[in-house]
C-alpha cells in the first residue's frame, strides 16, 4: 500500500510539472501578456519598460529555469493583477470553491442513490420516468443557463434566496444546486442502470427465494456491489467539477472561488496567478485519483492496486 | 411634582420631534454592483476600473471634473499656472486632512508624485501620466510639478493622479486599507465579495447624504440585472441596452469609448482614398446605434476624437450613409471584388462581434470581399501592435480618459506608435508638434487641421460614440457622469 502511494505520488508530481510547464509555455507564446495588462494607449516604450520590470524581457529559457527553481520552493511570484503572492490568492479562494463543491456534489450523491434505487425497482414506473426526464434535462441544460433561470425564479420572483455573492448559508443554496444537477443526473442514471443489472443477477434471486427482504438485499449486497463503479464515476465528476463546472457556476453567482479567479486571471493576462492556479488544481486532481484508488480497494479487497 | 412631569413630557416631545425632523438624515446605505473586484486598493499602481470605482470616493486628486466633464480644481485651490514649458505650479487648498489625520500639503503631493514615477513600483498608470518626472515643494501650500517634455495636458493628468498621505505612502497596508482625503472612508474588504465605505463626516466639501456604501463584485451582466430586480442593488454598471426598459430606472450618459476601424493606408487594398471613403459611406451608423445599442450610442461626427475632449473638431460632419455613392467610388477605383481583411476580437467590448460582422456585411454590399478575422484578445493585441505587418483594417474601441485629442493621436495615428497604421511622416510631425504646443489656441488649431486631414483622407472609419448605461433602484437619484466615475457623494436616496 505504502509503495503504491509513493509511486503514484511520484507519477503525480511529473504530471503536475508537465501541466504547469505547458501552461508556462502556452501563455507566453499566445499573445503578449504585457499588452493585455497595460491600457491600449500605453506607448511602445512603456510596454518595454513594464516587460523588463516583470522579467518578461528575458529569453523564455531563462524565464523557465527561474520558474522551475521558484516552483520547487512553492514560490509562484506575485500576481500581476493583485500585486501580492499568487499562491496567497489561490489559498484564499480555494476554500470557497471546495465548500461549493462539497455542497453541490454532496447533494448529488445523497439524492442520486435513493432516486436511482427507486427507479431501478420499478423500471418504466412513474418515479422512474420522472427521474429520467429530469435527469436528461439536467444533462442537456448548460449550467450557465440553468443558473440564470434559477436566479430569476428563486431570487428575483420568489425572493426566497439572494441572487449572488457569498455570506450566509442561503447564499450557498442556488449555486450548489446548480452545480449539483449535472452530476446528480449522471449519478442517478448510473445507480439505476447498475441496480437493474444487479437485481437480475442469480444471487439476488437466490436471496429472495431464501426469504430475505428486498431492503436487506439492497442494503447488504446490491448497494455494496455498485459502490465501486459509483466511486469511480463520482471521482470523474469531482474532477470535472473542480476543473470546469465551478468556473461557470462561480461566474454566474459571483461566488468568490478559484474558478472565477481563473477567468479573471486569464482576462488580465496574469501569467503568474494562472500558473499557481493550474499547479494547485493539477495537484488536487492527482490527489483525488490516489484517494479514489485507495477507497475502491477498501470497498472491494479483490482489486489490485497498481 | 407636576411641573417635573410636564417638563419631562415636554422634553420627550422635543426629542420625538427632533427625531422626526431629522428622519431624512437617518443612516442611509446603498449597494453598488460593479463588474470586477479591485485588484488592489492601492490607488497608484494598477490600471484597473474596479479599483477606480471604489477609490474615486476615498481619494482625490489636485484636479477634478464636473459631472459634465469640465476640468476644475480639486485639492488644488485654483487652476495651476505655468512657470515654464516644463513646470506647473499648484496652490493647494488649506486645512484638508487625510482620513488618518495626516495633513494634505506640499509634502503629500511630492510623495504622491515620487511614488507613482518610481520605476520600482512599475505603475501601470504611467500610461496616463506621460512625461511626469518630479515634484518640488515651494512652501507648505505651493508645489511645482515637473515634466521631462513640454506637456500642455498636465492639468488633465493631475485629475488622474490620486493624492496619498506622505507618511502612510511608505506603509504596505496602503494596498488594503486606503487613506485619502475624500468624502468616504474605507470600512471593510471582504475579499471576493464586498467592500464597504463609510461617510467622512469631516469632508472638506460638505457631508454627503449617503452614509454607507457597499460594493459588490458581479462579473455577469445578467446576475447584476437580477440583483437590481430583486432589490439587492441600488446601482449597477454596464446595464445591457436591451434591458434598459425593464429596470426601475436606467440612465445613460455619453461615455469615454468610441468604436472605430483603423485602416492600413499603406496596404494595397485600401491605398486608394476613394476606397477608404467608400468604406465610410457604406455603413449605416444610425441603424447600428438603434439596432445593436437600442439608441444608447451616437453616430460619430467624422472623427475618432471624443466629443467634449480638447481638440474635438466641431466643424466635421458625420459620414453620410450612401451605399450607391460608395459602390460608384469603388468602381471608379477599380476595386470591385478586392478582398479586405478586417481584424477584430469578440467579447472584450459590448457587442463587438456584432459591430464587426455588421460592418463586414455593409462592405460586402458595396462590392468588396471582406475577410473577417476574429482573434482571441491577446492574439488580437499582438496583431494590432505588430508594426511590421499592418492589417488592412482592424476594429478597436478607443477610450479617452484624459479628454484630450492626444490620446487618440498617440494610439491611432502617430506612425510607429500604438496601433497606428500609416507611415505619414508629416502627420507624425504635426501630432508631435500639437502634443508639446503650450499655447491653447494654437494647439486647438493644430488639432483642427489634423482631424480635418484624417477625415478628408479617410484614415479610419469612425463608428459610434458609446454611452454608459446604469441601472438604478426606484429610490436612487443620480445623474451619471460623462467621465464614467461613480461618485457616491453626488447620489441621493429618496425614501
So what's the pLDDT on residue A232? 85
Cell of A58: 528575458
B119 burial level (CB within 10 Å; 0-12, 13-18, 19+): exposed
Give the residues across from A85 on adjacent strands: A78
Question: Where exactly are the structural domains of chain B?
Answer: 28-35+182-248+473-493, 59-167, 255-467
CA distances from A40 to A191, A260, B47, B184, B399 (A): 54, 24, 11, 31, 8
pLDDT digits (tens, 9 = 90+) for B308-363: 999 999 999 999 999 999 999 999 999 999 999 999 999 889 899 999 999 999 99
Q: Between the ranges A268-277, B300-309, B375-384, where is the mean pLDDT highest?
A: B300-309
Answer yes or no: are the C-beta atoms of A96 and B192 closer than 8 Å.
yes
Answer yes or no: are the C-beta atoms of A253 and A174 closer than 8 Å.
yes
> What distance lies between CA B56 and its chain's CA centroid?
12
Inter-chain touch A251–B175, beta carbons under 8 Å: no
Q: Which of 252-281 (B) contact A at CB < 8 A?
A: none
pTM summary value: 0.86
ipTM of the complex model: 0.83
Q: Which of 10-49 (B) contact A at CB < 8 A?
A: 36-37, 39-40, 42, 45-47
Residues 6+ apart with CB under 8 A from B12: none
Q: Which sign does the torsion angle of CA B144, B148, B150, B151 carry? A: negative
Q: From its phi and psi, is residue B418 left (phi > 0), alpha (psi between -120 and 50) or beta?
A: left
Nearest-angstrom CA–CA distance, B357 and B355: 6
Q: Which sign does the torsion angle of CA B68, B73, B79, B85 carry? A: negative
Inter-chain touch B417–A38, beta carbons under 8 Å: no
So what's the pLDDT on residue A266? 85
What average pLDDT does the segment B151-163 reach? 94
The CATH label, of 3.40.50.970, 1.20.58.760, 3.40.30.10, 3.40.190.10, for the domain at B28-35+182-248+473-493 is: 3.40.190.10
Inter-chain touch A148–B411, beta carbons under 8 Å: no
Inter-chain touch A84–B47, beta carbons under 8 Å: no
B140 touches chain A (CB under 8 A): no
End-to-end CA separation in angstroms for chain A: 10
Chain B residue with CA closest to A166: the answer is B193
Nearest-angstrom CA–CA distance, B321 and B318: 9
Q: From its phi and psi, is residue A38 left (phi > 0), alpha (psi between -120 and 50) or beta?
A: beta
What's the maximum distance between 2 C-alpha atoms anywhere in chain B?
108
Task: Kindly report the nearest CA distance between residue B426 and chain A, in angstroms.
Answer: 20
Cell of B107: 509634502
B133 touches chain A (CB under 8 A): no
Q: From its phi and psi, is residue A139 left (phi > 0), alpha (psi between -120 and 50) or beta?
A: alpha
Which residue blocks in chain A are alpha helix, DSSP H? 2-29, 33-37, 44-53, 60-71, 86-121, 126-140, 143-150, 169-199, 202-209, 214-216, 223-240, 246-252, 258-267, 271-299
Which residue blocks in B134-242 are alpha helix, DSSP H? 154-157, 221-229
Give the residues across from B194 on adjacent strands: B190, B216
Return the residue matching grid coordinates 444487479: A198
Q: Kindly report the backbone phi and psi dihedral angles of residue B8, in degrees, each rounded to the nearest multiple of 5, phi listed first.
A: -60, -45
Strands (E), B386-440: 393-399
Q: Which of B128, B227, B380 sits opposite A164 (nearest CB)?
A: B227
Confidence at B22, pLDDT banded by 50, 70, 90:
very low
Question: How many alpha carbons lie under 13 Å from residue A112 in its C-beta half-sphere?
Answer: 31
What average pLDDT does the segment B448-453 reach? 97
CATH superfamily for domain B59-167: Dipeptide-binding Protein; Domain 1 (3.90.76.10)
So what's the pLDDT on residue A293? 84
Confidence at B26, pLDDT banded by 50, 70, 90:
low
pLDDT for residue B6 is more than 90: no
Inter-chain touch A269–B193, beta carbons under 8 Å: no
Inter-chain touch A252–B124, beta carbons under 8 Å: no
CA distances from B394 to B257, B359, B381 (A): 16, 11, 11
Inter-chain touch A165–B193, beta carbons under 8 Å: yes
Inter-chain touch B230–A155, beta carbons under 8 Å: yes
Confidence at B489, pLDDT banded by 50, 70, 90:
very high
So what's the pLDDT on residue A257? 93
Inter-chain touch A155–B126, beta carbons under 8 Å: no
Chain A residues with CB-CB distance to B127 below 8 A: 38-39, 41-43, 46
Chain B residues with CB-CB distance to A43 below 8 A: 127, 410, 417-418
> What distance lies between CA A174 and its chain's CA centroid?
17
pLDDT digits (tens, 9 = 90+) for B57-76: 999 999 999 999 999 999 99
Cell of B146: 515637473
Inter-chain touch B191–A92, beta carbons under 8 Å: yes
pLDDT digits (tens, 9 = 90+) for A29-62: 776 778 877 778 777 777 888 888 778 888 888 8
Return the residue matching grid coordinates 425497482: A121
DSSP secondary structure letters along A136-180: HHHHHS-HHHHHHHHIIIIIIIS--S-SS-SSSHHHHHHHHHHHH
Select from A100, A97, A86, A93 the least CA-distant residue to A279: A86
3-state percent breakdown (helix, strand, coil) of chain B, nearest 5: 35, 25, 40
Task: Kindly report the nearest CA distance between residue B254 and chain A, in angstroms.
Answer: 20
pLDDT digits (tens, 9 = 90+) for A68-107: 888 878 888 888 888 889 999 999 999 999 999 999 999 9
Answer yes or no: are the C-beta atoms of B194 and A135 closer than 8 Å.
no
Answer yes or no: are the C-beta atoms of B81 and B149 closer than 8 Å.
no
Q: Is it true that domain B255-467 has CATH number 3.10.105.10?
A: yes
B119 touches chain A (CB under 8 A): yes
pLDDT for residue A17 is more than 90: no
Radius of gyration of chain B (CA): 26
Chain B residues with CB-CB distance to A37 below 8 A: 47, 124
pLDDT digits (tens, 9 = 90+) for B68-113: 999 999 999 999 999 998 999 999 999 999 999 999 999 999 999 9
pLDDT for residue B3 is more than 80: no
| Residue B490: DSSP 8-state | G
Q: Is B198 strand, coil or helix?
A: strand
Nearest-angstrom CA–CA distance, B175 and B196: 15
Amino acid at each position: 500500500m505504502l509503495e503504491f502511494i509513493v509511486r503514484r505520488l511520484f507519477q503525480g508530481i511529473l504530471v503536475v510539472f508537465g501541466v504547469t510547464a505547458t501552461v508556462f509555455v502556452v501563455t507566453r507564446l499566445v499573445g503578449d501578456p504585457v499588452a493585455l495588462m497595460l491600457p491600449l494607449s500605453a506607448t511602445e516604450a512603456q510596454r518595454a519598460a513594464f516587460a523588463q520590470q516583470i522579467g518578461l524581457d528575458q529569453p523564455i529559457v531563462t524565464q523557465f529555469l527561474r520558474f522551475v527553481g521558484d516552483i520547487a520552493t512553492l514560490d509562484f511570484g506575485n500576481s500581476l493583477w493583485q500585486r501580492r503572492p499568487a499562491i496567497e490568492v489561490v489559498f484564499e479562494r480555494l476554500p470557497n470553491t471546495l465548500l461549493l463543491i462539497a455542497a453541490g456534489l454532496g447533494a448529488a450523491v445523497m439524492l442520486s442513490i435513493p432516486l436511482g434505487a427507486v427507479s431501478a425497482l420499478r423500471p418504466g414506473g412513474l418515479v422512474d420516468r420522472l427521474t429520467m426526464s429530469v435527469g436528461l434535462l439536467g444533462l442537456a441544460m448548460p449550467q450557465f443557463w440553468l443558473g440564470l433561470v434559477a436566479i430569476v425564479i428563486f431570487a428575483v420572483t420568489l425572493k426566497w434566496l439572494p441572487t449572488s455573492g457569498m455570506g450566509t448559508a442561503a447564499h450557498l443554496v442556488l449555486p450548489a444546486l446548480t452545480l449539483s444537477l449535472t452530476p446528480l443526473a449522471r449519478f442517478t442514471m448510473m445507480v439505476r442502470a447498475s441496480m437493474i443489472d444487479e437485481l437480475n443477477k442469480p444471487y439476488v434471486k437466490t436471496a429472495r427465494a431464501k426469504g430475505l427482504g428486498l431492503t436487506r438485499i439492497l442494503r447488504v449486497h446490491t448497494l455494496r456491489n455498485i459502490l465501486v463503479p459509483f466511486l469511480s464515476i463520482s471521482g470523474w465528476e469531482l474532477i470535472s467539477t473542480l476543473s470546469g463546472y465551478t468556473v461557470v457556476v462561480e461566474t454566474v453567482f459571483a461566488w468568490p472561488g478559484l474558478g472565477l479567479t481563473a477567468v479573471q486571471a486569464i482576462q488580465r493576462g496574469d501569467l503568474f496567478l494562472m500558473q499557481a492556479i493550474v499547479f494547485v488544481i493539477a495537484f488536487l486532481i492527482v490527489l483525488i485519483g490516489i484517494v479514489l484508488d485507495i477507497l475502491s480497494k477498501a470497498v472491494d479487497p479483490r482489486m489490485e492496486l497498481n | 411634582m407636576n411641573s417635573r412631569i410636564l417638563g419631562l413630557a415636554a422634553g420627550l416631545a422635543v426629542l420625538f420631534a427632533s427625531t422626526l425632523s431629522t428622519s431624512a438624515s437617518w443612516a442611509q446605505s446603498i449597494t453598488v454592483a460593479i463588474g470586477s473586484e479591485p485588484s488592489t486598493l492601492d490607488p497608484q499602481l494598477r490600471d484597473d476600473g474596479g479599483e477606480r470605482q471604489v477609490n474615486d470616493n476615498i481619494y482625490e486628486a489636485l484636479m477634478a471634473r464636473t459631472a459634465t466633464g469640465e476640468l476644475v480644481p480639486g485639492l488644488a485651490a485654483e487652476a495651476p499656472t505655468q512657470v515654464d514649458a516644463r513646470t506647473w505650479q499648484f496652490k493647494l487648498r488649506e486645512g484638508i486632512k487625510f482620513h488618518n489625520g495626516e495633513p494634505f500639503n506640499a509634502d503629500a503631493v511630492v510623495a504622491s508624485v515620487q511614488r507613482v514615477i518610481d520605476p520600482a513600483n512599475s505603475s501601470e498608470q504611467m500610461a496616463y501620466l506621460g512625461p511626469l518626472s518630479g515634484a518640488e515643494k515651494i512652501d507648505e501650500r505651493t508645489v511645482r510639478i515637473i515634466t521631462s517634455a513640454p506637456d500642455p495636458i498636465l492639468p488633465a493628468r493631475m485629475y488622474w493622479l490620486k493624492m496619498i498621505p506622505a507618511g502612510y505612502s511608505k506603509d504596505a497596508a496602503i494596498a488594503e486599507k486606503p487613506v485619502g482625503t475624500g468624502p468616504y472612508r474605507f470600512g471593510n474588504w471582504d475579499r471576493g465579495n464586498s467592500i464597504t465605505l463609510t461617510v467622512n463626516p469631516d469632508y472638506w466639501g460638505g457631508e454627503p447624504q449617503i452614509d454607507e456604501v457597499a460594493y459588490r463584485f458581479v462579473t455577469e451582466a445578467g446576475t447584476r440585472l437580477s440583483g437590481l430586480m430583486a432589490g439587492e442593488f441600488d446601482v449597477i454598471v454596464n446595464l445591457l441596452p436591451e434591458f434598459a426598459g425593464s429596470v426601475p430606472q436606467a440612465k445613460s450618459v455619453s461615455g469615454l469609448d468610441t468604436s472605430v476601424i483603423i485602416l492600413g493606408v499603406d496596404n494595397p487594398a485600401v491605398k486608394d482614398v476613394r476606397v477608404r471613403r467608400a468604406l465610410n459611406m457604406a455603413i449605416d451608423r444610425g441603424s447600428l446605434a438603434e439596432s445593436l445599442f437600442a439608441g444608447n450610442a451616437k453616430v460619430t461626427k467624422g472623427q475618432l476624437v471624443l466629443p467634449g475632449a480638447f481638440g474635438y473638431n466641431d466643424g466635421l460632419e458625420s459620414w453620410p450613409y450612401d451605399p450607391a455613392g460608395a459602390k460608384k467610388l469603388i468602381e471608379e477605383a477599380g476595386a470591385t471584388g478586392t478582398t479586405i481583411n478586417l481584424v477584430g476580437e469578440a467579447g472584450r467590448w459590448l457587442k463587438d462581434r456584432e459591430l464587426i460582422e455588421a460592418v463586414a456585411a455593409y462592405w460586402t454590399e458595396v462590392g468588396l470581399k471582406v475577410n473577417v478575422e476574429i482573434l482571441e484578445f491577446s492574439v488580437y493585441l499582438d496583431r494590432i501592435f505588430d508594426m511590421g505587418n499592418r492589417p488592412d483594417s482592424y476594429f478597436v474601441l478607443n477610450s479617452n480618459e484624459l479628454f484630450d485629442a492626444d490620446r487618440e493621436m498617440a494610439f491611432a495615428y502617430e506612425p510607429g506608435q500604438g496601433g497606428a497604421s500609416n507611415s505619414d511622416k508629416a502627420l507624425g510631425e504635426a501630432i508631435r508638434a500639437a502634443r508639446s504646443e503650450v499655447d491653447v489656441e494654437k494647439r486647438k488649431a493644430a488639432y483642427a487641421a489634423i482631424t480635418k486631414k484624417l477625415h478628408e483622407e479617410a484614415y479610419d472609419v469612425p463608428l459610434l460614440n458609446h454611452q454608459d448605461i446604469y441601472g438604478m433602484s426606484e429610490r436612487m437619484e443620480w445623474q451619471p457622469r460623462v467621465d464614467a466615475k461613480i461618485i457616491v457623494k453626488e447620489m441621493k436616496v429618496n425614501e
